[in-house]
Each structure stands twice: as C-alpha cells, then as structure tokens.
Chains A and B, each alone.
Chain A
Amino acid sequence: MSRRTFLVSALQGAGAGAALVIAVPVDSLLADKGRVVERYDWNDHSYLFLVDISRCIGCGMCVKACKKENGVPAAFYRTWVERYTVYDEETTHIESPEGAMNGFGPSNPATGASKSFFVPKLCNHCKYTPCTQVCPVGASYTTRDGVVMVDRKRCIGCGYCVQACPYGSRYIDPESHTADKCTWCYHRITRGMNPACVQACPKGARLFGDRMRENDPVFEMVETRPVRILQPELLTKPQCYYLGADKEVR
C-alpha cells in the first residue's frame, strides 16, 4: 500500500467513523441510560436483609454466585459462610474454608458436639456505619435506599474503612487498589432483581426485603419474628438481620 492510498483510506475511515457517530442517535443512548434511572427512584426503597440460619446448609452457592457476579478477587470475600461446632459452653470451633466457596468437608459426628450450624455473613449495611464515617474523601457513602457503597473513582485506598468495619466485610481490591465490599448487588436490585447470593441460595436462607414495599414478607418477618443483629453493642444499626442466630455468632 502506497503512502497515498494509506492516507486516503485512513481519511475515508475517519469520515465513516464520524458519520457513524453522528448517525447513532445520541439522544436515544442517553434516554436509554436515563430510562433505568427514571424508573428507579431510590427514595421509594429501604432495603433490608434477613438470614435464616436454620435454613442454611453450608453449600456455598451464595459465595460462588457472589464471586462470579461481582468478580471478587481470590482470597477476598464480599460474603462468606461460617460453620459453628459447639462442644460445650467453653469450646466452639468455627471455620470458613475459602469463605465456604466450595462448601464444607464432612463434620466428624464422633467429636461429641452439642450443636452445629452455618452462618452466612455479608456486609451489614449499617445505618450508622463507621466505614463511611472514617472515609477521608467521602468515597464510601450510603445511598438513600440504604446501601453502603464505595466510589472506586474517588477512593484513595487508605484502608481506613477496612480497619473501621467491625465485621470484616471490607477489603482492598488488589487490582483496583480501592476499598471494596458487598453492595447487595446494587446493579441488580435497582432493576428489581434479588442480590446474586439470594438468587443462588437453594434453601431460601438469604432473604432480601424492602420496607417500603407493601406487605413485604421479609420486612414482616423482621417485624414479627425474634431476630437479632450482629455486635449490637457497637450501635452501628445493621440492616442485616439474623433469624435463629446463636449467642456464639459475632
């Protein structure tokens, strides 16, 4: 190809590209983008999460689903499942191999455990959360519908929020070098779907609700059943409730 033909074809290509850009109705793109926002009003929602411990079988599907949905890096977890094996009042064995991504190995029935149960964990999306309080640049924030999020474009990666979270829900993403955490799959819930972990749970141990939805069954359960929150003494007001959680659960 001579220099002349190359330049001519390059110019033609550029021209065609420009025409394409103009031809695509920019307004419609924006409108499409706006439509999702238009349909979704965060003032109309107030989310909450309920974990029904008696239903969890420790299969780890939720952890796997979360990892896939959100591209969570290896060795870090937005959600995980713990297995408690209580022997007596003094001895409790807790484990969560790889966050229970691949479930748990068989427990040994001959050990004389008095009780054993699984506890799914995730960010509690605290109402008075220390993680957003300590963020020096406001990259951590709470949406009006009650979800604690991180703006990756603003986060400076100081790690103060990771230290401030009493539940171990946050980590510094080794790729983006910013704080990361469970978002209750905000990209899904704003489209009317459930978080991936709730969707993946085969036993309905993870339930996602909305206080502002009429007759919301999850909210109703939280209102009427004996639920508890984790580390209530810290007064962080978690929005994630636990049904049937043992006193050992922290």
Chain B
Amino acid sequence: MPDMTGYAFPNDIHIGWTLMVVLYPYLTGLVAGAFICSSLYHVFGRKELAPIARISLVVSACFLAVAPLPLLIHLGHPERAFNVLITPNFESAMAGFGIVFGLYLVLVMLEIYFVFRKDIILRARRSRGPLRWILAAVALFTYDISEEALAVDEKIVRVLAGVGIPAACLLHGYVGFIFGALKSNPWWSTPLMPIIFLFSAVVSGIALLIVLYQIAMRFRGTPIDQNCLRSMAGWLWLFLIVTFSLEMLEVITLAYERSEEWEVIGYLLSHQLSFSFISVQVVAGSLIPLILLMVVVLMSGHMKAPLLNMLTFVASGLLLMQVFSMRWNVVIGGQMFSKSLRGFRLDYVPEFFEKEGTAVAIVICIVPFLLLLVADRLLPLWSQADAKAHQDESS
C-alpha cells in the first residue's frame, strides 16, 4: 500500500494512468510539433527551414508509428483496442481517437509520399532485386519526374501540409481535451488544457528537430546551416513564451481565485510536485531555456556560431525535458491526490522492470530513432542538397 497523507477514497490510492499514459501525449506532441515545423516551410514559405523540411516530416511519421504503443501496453485488454473504432461511443472524448489518429496518419504518409516521390523513383531506378520492385510499387510504377509532374507534387504537398496543420492541432489538442474535459479532477479540468498541450507540443517538436539536426550534421560532417538553426531557435522561443505563459497563467489564476481546488493544487505543487514542477518544469525547463533562447535570438550578431549552436542545443535539450515533465505533472500529478480532495499520495516512482515501467518507456522512445535510421538508408532525409547528392550518385 502506498504512503498516503490525509484521507483518500480507498480506491484512489492506486495510480491508474501510469508512465505509459505520460509517454503517449509526449510522443504525439513530438509528432504534431515536428509536423507543424515542416509546415512552416511548405505552407508559410519559411525557405530558411529547407534543411529540416524533409526530416521533420519523417520524424513526425516515425514517432506517429510508435505513439499508440504505450496506449496498447496500458490497456487492460489491448486485443479489444479496435473496438474503439468498431463500436465507438461518440459521447466519449476518447472514442474519436482512432479516427483522428487514422486520418492524421494517412495525411502524413501521403505528404511524405509526395515530398519523396522523386527520390523514391530515383532510388528505384538504381536499385536491384526485390528492393527495386518494392520501390517501384511504392511509386505506383510511374516513373514520371518531369518538371510538370514535380510541380503537381509540390502543389499537393502544399495542400496536404495546409490541411495537416489543423489536423496536427486536432490530434494534439484532442489529447489535452481528454484531460481537460474531466470535471472530476480539478488539476485537469480546464479549457486551457488542450491549448497548453498544443503549444508545448510545438515546443517539443522544434526542440527535437534542433537536437537531431545538430547531432546529424556533426556525424555527417556537414556544416550547420546557421540561418536554419537561428530561425528554428526563434520559433522555439516564440512558442516557448506562449506555452510558459499559458502554463503559469493557469496556476496563477487558480491561486488567485483561492477556490476549493487551490487547496489541493497548491499543496500538490508545493509538496508532491515541488521537484518535477517547480525545479524541473518551471526553473530548469522553462526559465533557463527562455533566457538562453533570448540570448540566441537577440544577441546572435555579437556571438560566434559554435556558441550560439551550443546554447540552442542546450535550450532544446532542456525543453525536451520540460515538455516531458509537463506531461508527467499533468498525468501523474492529477492522480497524486484523491477525489476526496483531502488525501495525497506521498510519491510515485514507476518500477524499472514492469509492464508499464521505465525500461519499456525507454525502448519505446528509442524505436522512432531506429526507424529514422532505416529511413535515412532509403531516402535523402536532410535537404535538397542531400537529394541532389543522392541524384548525382545515381546518375
């Protein structure tokens, strides 16, 4: 039996939504964030983001592929998971999950297809054996890479990316809604929840791309495109300001109202979550990156590129941690107190080796990177220049 303080309803001492349920919104956040980052290039014409326009889409797809895993592991009866699609109860906020997820998956895959169609064809042409056939089938046996055909591709990508933005918002806002729409839990029940989830998703997506971009360029020995990185840092800063303001506004409003809920939430934040909320999410995860990115954005003219790169890298790493801690504080924090609003669990640490434990979470987080490595073998993920290199290699 866990250590408790105060009075908790007897069924409330269990943590029902575990680390896996923390992981799911984190992964979909990365999906939505990376996608929106790619849309900045495809839809809003931020040409300086060209170096990461392709990889961001593929990152989105790789994380999307593993996103349902933690949920399936969490379910008591994963074999019945498809019932959500077959016999949905549309009154439930969760029932639309399959539809939203499925639509988004189709959209991302289609966009990836049209972005990489030319490269798929080029790769098919220079491949031998089964791979050639597979790639040819993926290209629908049409090897048309004339300028007109590519222009059509580009148009389709623009439309898909345009539709993808609201879809990504829907996918992630929806996750926030699942929590925000529960009136039983004062820590979750706020209309701000979907918005906070959404903005922090974008933050985590951009931060991941910055980290990936810098590591990949170092391994490939390619110089970092400073314009691209500065632009990403700028966007990251902007989205962080919005996210952090919303997160703080929510807490400040609750504290100022001093309603019944605050008695619980105030205690929660200053005791059970004092480390993960105040130290990790607010100070190390938000305030420090906020300052670092401010320095990068406002003082880039006065500093050398390697220093700026490092500051951006550190800020992004901290932000990846911040968003994870935010998901943790919401999901686990919301279960650290009883609905009696009088009792608290003293702590919750997931076991390393258990069904929904830390080891499983780590493996799930590694899989998307392995998928990325596979994708990198098949297609030029990094930039147009990369694509050209692939092309030259094939000719």
Instruction: Give the interface of A toward B (CB within 8 A).
Output: 75-77, 80, 82, 93-96, 98-99, 121, 130, 132-138, 154-160, 162-172, 176-178, 234, 250
Contact = CB atoms under 8 A, between A and B. Distances in A.
B367 to A, nearest CB: 22
A164 B16 CA distance: 12
Main secondary structure of the interface of A (DSSP, over half): loop
A168 B339 contact: yes
B338 interface: yes
A132 B17 CA distance: 18
Contacts of A95: 7
Contact of A163 (B13, B75, B84, B184): B184
A157 B75 contact: yes
The 7 closest A-B pairs by CB, nearest first: A157-B76, A168-B9, A177-B76, A94-B7, A166-B184, A136-B94, A138-B89
B339 A154 contact: no
A170 B11 contact: yes
30 contacts: A75-B1, A76-B11, A80-B10, A93-B7, A94-B7, A94-B340, A94-B342, A95-B7, A96-B7, A96-B10, A99-B10, A133-B91, A137-B87, A138-B89, A154-B83, A155-B76, A156-B75, A156-B76, A156-B83, A157-B77, A158-B74, A158-B76, A160-B92, A163-B182, A163-B334, A164-B184, A166-B183, A168-B8, A234-B183, A250-B340
Contacts of B102: none
Contacts of B178: 160
Contacts of B10: 75-77, 80, 96, 98-99, 168
B97 interface: yes
A177 B77 contact: yes
A154 B92 CA distance: 15
B15 to A, nearest CB: 10
B81 interface: yes
B83 A137 contact: yes
A182 B38 CA distance: 50
B95 interface: yes
A229 to B, nearest CB: 15
Contacts of B16: 159, 162-163, 172
A133 B182 contact: no
B105 interface: no
